[in-house]
């Protein structure tokens, strides 16, 4: 290896080390100003959908990862699938939750939820 290659390798190793040292393993917090980019209708719909304790529990469960309907029903303590689907429809309508496959749900990739969390604090 010549001097030029050794210098380039050392530079790359230093860059990798700097990147690894800066990584926290957590996604960056949403910009508090990002809520200004959302339409008032989207914010209002998300606020209304999240205004029920059961829906908040569904969201908390799905923030841990996708889940099936039976798992969600058990996690939030609902006694019938109809109750669960009532809440899932409200969350889906506000684009907070989406159906991944038959009876399987996840958080929407395009959710105003993260921005709403910045609005209160």
Residue 25 neighbours by CB under 8 Å, 6+ apart: none
* CATH class assigned to 33-119: mainly alpha
pLDDT tens-place string over residues 17-41: 777 766 655 555 556 566 667 778 8
N- to C-terminal Cα separation, the chain: 55
pLDDT tens-place string over residues 82-120: 999 999 999 998 888 999 899 999 998 765 555 455 444
Name the helix (H) or strand (E) containing 99: strand 97-101
For residue 108, the model assigns a pLDDT of 86
Contact 116, 77 (CB under 8 A): no
Domain ranges of the chain: 33-119
């Amino acid at each position: 290896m010549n001097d030029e290659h050794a210098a380039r390798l050392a530079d790359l190793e230093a860059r990798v080390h700097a990147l690894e040292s800066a990584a926290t393993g957590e996604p960056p917090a949403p910009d508090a100003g990002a809520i200004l980019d959302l339409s008032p209708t989207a914010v209002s719909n998300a606020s209304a959908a999240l205004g029920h304790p059961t829906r908040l529990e569904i969201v908390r469960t799905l923030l841990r990862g996708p889940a099936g309907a039976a798992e969600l029903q058990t996690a939030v303590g609902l006694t019938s699938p109809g109750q669960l689907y009532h809440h899932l429809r409200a969350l889906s309508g506000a684009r907070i939750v989406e159906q991944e496959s038959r009876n399987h749900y996840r958080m929407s990739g395009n959710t105003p939820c993260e921005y709403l969390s910045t609005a209160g604090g």
